[in-house]
Structure 1
């Protein structure tokens, strides 16, 4: 992946990947540590980072919507993708297949 970060779409795609990773770490590592190992500190740190990335994802979604004039359906799909595990990775692959240039 080569992200230039010069366009709203490239920033959105990168933030989407980071948000997706943080969500999986939260669900797959931090939550089990909290509930199975009795170590709640992982959820606090990872949860905070995921929250910041989620807010950044929403801001980037607004920016790319304005820049690319995305339809309301596409915006809703992108929002729902952020709520589903692996959703942002699916969205990234779909954007790539559609030829949504990041340059």
Structure 2
């Protein structure tokens, strides 16, 4: 049995979210410049901080999804997740992963994959509408949890 075809490859999904994460970092840093350097407004931090937080979480979830599907080592998964912390580091990590063949044009997970995590990815690919809903709920839940915990110290 083969994995369903999807308009979004692992490479495209990861590249899109790595780029979005870097862009939201730039927006947040711009907001911080306006707040702390020019002391003109806090609006940039309030708006772009939330946008960055949501994209940060989406990037993390996509990284786990792609890592499981593309069979990354735990070390590479940790590197991919850690790349979201320093500003703009998702971009060089994406290039690194692409150059090393870690980002395929096809999904590898199948319903008969040996790993339960890969079977779960296969299920998500087979049920794309549900997967998007699950992804949105996961991002919202994790964002809500982050808001309860508070901003990073």
Pairwise TM-score range, normalised by the shorter structure:
0.7 to 0.9
Secondary structure of the corresponding residue to residue 82 of structure 1: coil
Alpha-carbon separation, structure 2, partners of 1:55 and 1:101: 22
Q: Does 1:71 align with 2:73?
A: yes
| Contact 1:5–1:11 (CA under 8 A) maintained in structure 2 | no
State the match for 1:101 in structure 2.
104
Higher helix share: 1
Q: Compute the TM-score of the two structures, normalised by the length of structure 2.
A: 0.59
Structure showing greater Rg: 2
Gaps of 5+ in 2: 1-5, 107-153
1:34-49 matched pairs, under 5 angstroms:
34-38=35-39, 39-49=41-51
Gaps of 5+ in 1: none
State the match for 1:85 in structure 2.
87
Q: Compute the TM-score of the two structures, normalised by the length of structure 1.
A: 0.84
Inter-CA distance 102–33: structure 2 relative to 1 (3 Å threshold): farther
| Structure possessing the higher relative contact order (Cα contacts under 8 Å, 6 or more residues apart) | 1
> Any runs of at least 4 consecutive aligned residues in structure 1 with deviations exceeding 4 A, and if so which?
none
